[in-house]
Amino acid sequence: MPQHHDPDHDHSRRNRRRGFENSERLRELLTRLDIDGPGAWRSDPEAAALMRHAAQKYAALARKHGLDPWEAATAAFEAMRTAAVRRADDPWAVITRAVQITCIAENRANGLLCSVHQARRPRYSSFHDAERFSDRENPLTDYHPAFRADPFTDDEEDADDETHDSGATGVESAVEDTIALLCWHGWEPEMARAAVECICARLAESVSRAGAYESLRRDRHARALLDIPAPSWYRLLRIILGSPDAHLVGTNAARGVLLRLLIGDSLRHLITDSELETAIKVAAPGTMRGRP
């Protein structure tokens, strides 16, 4: 018995073959767009339809990594413009892999507070996500010994007695005031918060301010993740943790901003400290000249 011929079914099959999911159809379109030049991607209706298709195709992958579907489509667009995709046996396989890698890198960059370029590199991506000081369950509920002045000054007993009474609220307030102080004197808010919280996190893991200072001074990875120039970073450590210079023992410079806030100095008082103001402004990225 002869089978009934359905012309609509044949038309649907032809459309599917001509659709973007067809590797050869995609290759032809990408080749034509490449020959027509960069302007073709802006004005060609098929290019616009292809990008809408890519956004839909990779929407689930984008959501899995906490991204917008159009961020995944952007990654697909970057891959589509390469010769490797046009020459591949399966262009969509190459594009999908490129989008997957980019989504992972974007997600890691958001967690590490660094650029996507850095997040792609194993030397940075191996780190755990940046941790906000305020997100810790027990950040410094009891005054942490790392805040004490013993490695830098002779003020240990006074600092210990006064700060034990302040508890976690005093510590958190000192951290927020330190961030506010940097912003007041020209630091970008996001960079100031990331830097201060990085320093405080290391401080919480160290037995002393001196230990935290030396650990952070030598930690190139932490500085790279924060994207702060070395001279700015070294100066900032001295500002926040205090200077280790022997001739400054017992001075505000040796105590550092965090300790000064914890032992009673107010944010208003620190803002009006002209020497501290100069130091913070000089340390701000973009204003450094020469080495520390």
Q: How far is CA 251 from the centre of its chain?
A: 35
d(CA 253, CA 238): 8
pLDDT at 236 over 90: yes
Average pLDDT over every residue of 21-33: 90
Residue recorded with tokens 């402004």? 281
Least confident of 11-15, 82-86, 194-198: 11-15
Tokens of 122: 């194993």
What's the CA dihedral at 150, 138, 128, 239 to 10 degrees?
-40
pLDDT of residue 288: 45
List phi, psi (to 5°) of 54. -65, -40
Q: Residue 149: pLDDT band by 50, 70, 90 thresholds?
A: very low
CA atoms within 13 A on the CB side of 166: 20
Contact 163/170 with Cβ under 8 angstroms?
Answer: yes
d(CA 262, CA 258): 6
Buried b (16+ CB within 10 A) or exposed e, 253-262: bbbbbbbbbb
Tokens of 83: 């010769």
List phi, psi (to 5°) of 173. -65, -40
pLDDT at 109 over 70: no
pLDDT of residue 262: 86
Whether this prediction's pTM lies above 0.75 is answered by no
Contact 262/159 with Cβ under 8 angstroms?
Answer: yes
Average pLDDT over every residue of 31-60: 89
Mean pLDDT of the chain: 76
Tokens of 81: 């413009």
d(CA 239, CA 277): 10
Residue recorded with tokens 């755990």? 128
Average pLDDT over every residue of 256-260: 88
Average pLDDT over every residue of 119-139: 53
Which position has the higher pLDDT, 286 or 282? 282
